[in-house]
Amino acid sequence: MRNTHPLLPRTHPPIPPLVKNICLLCCLLLAALCTAGADAPAYTIRFGIMETDKTTGLTKLTETTTLPFKTRETGFQFGFEIIPPDDKPYTYQVIGHLPSPPKQLSGLLENIKPSTTITSPTQQASGTYWQPNYFDLGDPLGEWKLDVLVNGKLQRTITFTVSDK
């Protein structure tokens, strides 16, 4: 019997056990989906200007999103650092998105045809890894993007500007 008095709480018929079980199962599945990526290791990716101290030989990375266009001959280098959560080996790959194709590619990329999208070969590393890069004559000015993949998964997209100022 339902209570219809406006000041008294309403009573409802009991929820059938099958409905309760379905609701519980849905809650458990939702909780599992929410925590599925929680146990995946997080890799820290830092990007900026790389400078090597001439006396100690240690490399320092100064984070920035604006880079001056200075070629390899000046000694200027920029790049990224991958800091893993543990000592396990990992693979990394970089996909570069440039405002226009460079005139030439060098280093690991020298056998790749210049384009606005350049994919590096997959490399292996362990521990903290530094990836220095240099500008060559003919590299474009403007906004660049680097997708850094670790173990085949995108860890960070780095957006930066290359300027002649």
DSSP 94-128: EEEE-SS--S---GGGTTSPP-SEEEPPPEEE-SS
CATH class given for the domain over 44-163? mainly beta
Model pLDDT, residue 165: 80
Phi, psi of 30 (to 5 degrees): -65, -45
What is the rounded CA–CA span in Å between residue 83 and residue 148? 12
Model pLDDT, residue 108: 77
Is there a contact between 96 and 160 (Cβ–Cβ < 8 Å)? no
Model pLDDT, residue 12: 56
pLDDT along the chain (165 residues), means of 10: 56 60 48 50 93 88 97 95 96 97 85 90 95 94 97 97 93
What is the rounded CA–CA span in Å between residue 129 and residue 150? 12
Domain parsing of the chain, residue ranges: 44-163
Return the structure tokens found at 4: 């219809």
pTM (2 d.p.)? 0.72
Phi, psi of 147 (to 5 degrees): -95, 120
Question: Which class for 146: exposed (0-12), middle (13-18), buried (19 or more C-beta within 10 A)?
Answer: buried
Model pLDDT, residue 139: 95
Model pLDDT, residue 113: 85
Model pLDDT, residue 41: 62
